[in-house]
């Protein structure tokens, strides 16, 4: 299990859609599409949401164990999850 993971925003999907990291690990979302995406978590215990952006990378550190689902609210079905062990 890794402590870092990279997720790429592609044409209205996240890739990979699910990752597993260690507690206190970091996930970085990179958006190279030029299209506005966001990362909006469901439930509690997740880090802060990532607001709409159309380029660049945003990292979040996960302090709590669990499975955290997220979606881009701009695009139906653009979703993923981070499992923290
Ligand atoms: Cu999106």
Domain count, the chain: 1
CATH number at residue 50: 2.60.40.420
Enter the pTM of the model.
Answer: 0.91
What is the reported pLDDT for 59?
96
**How many angstroms does the Cα of residue 50 sit away from the middle of ligand 1?**
11
Residue identified by tokens 């990291």 is 21
Residue 8: per-residue pLDDT: 78
Per-residue model confidence as pLDDT tens digits over 22-68: 999 999 999 988 899 999 999 899 999 999 999 999 999 999 999 99
Ligand 1 centroid vs 55 CA: distance in angstroms?
12
Domain enclosing residue 12, as ranges: 2-84
What separation in angstroms does the CA of 50 have from each of 1, 38, 39, 40, 83?
A: 24, 6, 5, 6, 18
Q: How far apart are CA 1 and CA 71, in angstroms?
A: 23
Q: How far is the CA of 5 from the centre of ligand 1 (A)?
A: 19
Q: What is the rounded end-to-end Cα distance, in angstroms, of the chain? A: 8
């Amino acid at each position: 299990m890794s402590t870092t993971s990279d997720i790429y925003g592609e044409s209205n999907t996240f890739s990979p859609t699910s990752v597993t990291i260690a507690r206190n690990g970091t996930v970085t979302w990179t958006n190279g599409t030029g299209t506005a995406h966001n990362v909006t978590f469901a439930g509690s215990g997740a880090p802060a949401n990532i607001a709409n952006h159309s380029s660049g990378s945003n990292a979040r550190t996960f302090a709590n164990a669990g499975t955290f689902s997220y979606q881009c609210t701009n695009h139906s079905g653009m979703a993923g999850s981070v499992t923290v062990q």
